[in-house]
Structure 1
Amino acid sequence: MSTWFVLHRIREMLREKAPQMLGNEKMVETDVTTYVGGKEKNKHFNKRRPLDDKSLTNEGKPYKAKKTIIGIIERNGKVALKYVSGETTENMVEFVKTHVPQDSTIYSDEAPAYNQLKKTYRHDNVKHSLSIYVEGQGQVHTNTIESFWSILKRGLYGVYHQVSEKHVSRYLDEYANRS
């Protein structure tokens, strides 16, 4: 058996231990998404998108966009992550509703999708577009999840260099259990 195979079996076990509910007693932060994938300017010319047809690469193959990841993190607690096909309101709100009980406190950025959270949660946000990163005497921020994104990306890029779409969820489970 190869080491790669054994590590994937361990990551599968970590999926079973992933937290189901967050925010019972702690404040929760969520971020629209983070994207995992190489920078366009660093790609080989034939892998880049041409200016005229954004759906194809320069060599004529279908363009693969970066991987979209949604995250929720408790302050001083656990994290839940999910790889999704795209950044949609439905994906983001359903993920929060699945992992955070009603009447919990949630902080997010000003993404319009999170306006729906005010119906079910104590929700407040920061306005990054106005260069506001902390409000409400230091309580309202998304610094915890932003810090986690940094750790995740540095780990994926630094250790694994690239992660296939097939296995990205397993790597997310690994990093969620490291927090």
Structure 2
Amino acid sequence: MVGGKAKNMSNKKRKVIAETKADRNNNKTVLLGLMERGSRLRLQAVKPTDFVPDLLRANVDLESVLMTDTANTYFKIGKDYAYHGVVDHGKKEYGRGYNYTNGIEGCFSQFDRMVIGIYHYISPKHIQKYADEFTFRFNSRKATDLVRFNTLLSNCNNRLTYNNLIK
């Protein structure tokens, strides 16, 4: 989930959250990360109306080995895959043999550092654009600067104007 912490909010916003007894993750946007071991990354902003198991089925082959944490979302859908390995962070378990999620967790850590160090704030409206930028940079990290630059230019289809950006 991407979003600010209550302790970093203004007193006014914290007070509203406390009075309404709102969920502490109310101000966060869910970012679904899919990564093939030793390969490419895909990040997708999840809207509240999206159903994560449907997104998994659309993006991950059912013959694949699925590695997840213990989030309730994955238990039922994990049965549809060839194998479903689970890592329980609540029990301080971060890997058990072939079962680990360190690759995707490292990506999320780098994404968080990008937000904190460069952008400071990402609005839910534009989070997918930031995720796409991060994904491009992550997936092309082993390429030379020239190859990366040429790939970037070849993917530019048209001009992005300010009015199109803020719509």
Identify the residue that residue 130 of structure 1 maps to in structure 2: 91
Whether 2:47 is the aligned partner of 1:93: answer: no
Equivalents in 2 of 1:64, 1:95: separation in Å? 22
The 3-state SS of whatever aligns with 1:149 is helix
In the superposition, relative to structure 1, how do residues 64 and 123 fare at CA in structure 2: closer, same or farther (>3 Å)? closer
Identify the residue that residue 161 of structure 1 maps to in structure 2: 120
Equivalent residues in 2 for 1:26-175, closer than 5 Å: 35-48=1-14, 49-55=16-22, 65-86=27-48, 91-115=51-75, 116-135=77-96, 137=97, 139-175=98-134
The 3-state SS of whatever aligns with 2:133 is helix
Structure with bigger helix share is 2
Identify the residue that residue 144 of structure 2 maps to in structure 1: none
The 3-state SS of whatever aligns with 2:20 is coil
Structure with bigger strand share is 1
Tell me the CA shift for residue 100 of structure 1.
1.0
Q: Deviations over 1:4-26 (max 9, x none)?
A: xxxxxxxxxxxxxxxxxxxxxxx
Larger relative contact order, structure 1 or 2 (CA cutoff 8 Å, min sep 6): 1
Identify the residue that residue 165 of structure 2 maps to in structure 1: none
Identify the residue that residue 6 of structure 1 maps to in structure 2: none
Tell me the CA shift for residue 105 of structure 1.
1.0
Q: Which runs of 5+ in 1 are unaligned?
A: 1-34, 56-62
In the superposition, relative to structure 1, how do residues 94 and 159 fare at CA in structure 2: closer, same or farther (>3 Å)? same
Q: Contact 1:71–1:79 at 8 Å: present in 2 too?
A: yes
Match for 1:73: what amino acid? M
Match for 1:129: what amino acid? G
The 3-state SS of whatever aligns with 1:36 is coil
Equivalents in 1 of 2:90, 2:124: separation in Å? 31
Equivalents in 2 of 1:45, 1:97: separation in Å? 42
Identify the residue that residue 142 of structure 2 maps to in structure 1: none
Q: TM-score, normalised by structure 1?
A: 0.68
Q: Deviations over 1:29-68 (max 9, x none)?
A: xxxxxx211211111111223423135xxxxxxx961121
Q: Contact 1:93–1:117 at 8 Å: present in 2 too?
A: no
Q: CA RMSD in A?
A: 2.2
- Identity over aligned residues, as a percent? 31
Q: Which runs of 5+ in 2 are unaligned?
A: 139-167
Tell me the CA shift for residue 164 of structure 1.
1.6
Q: TM-score, normalised by structure 2?
A: 0.72
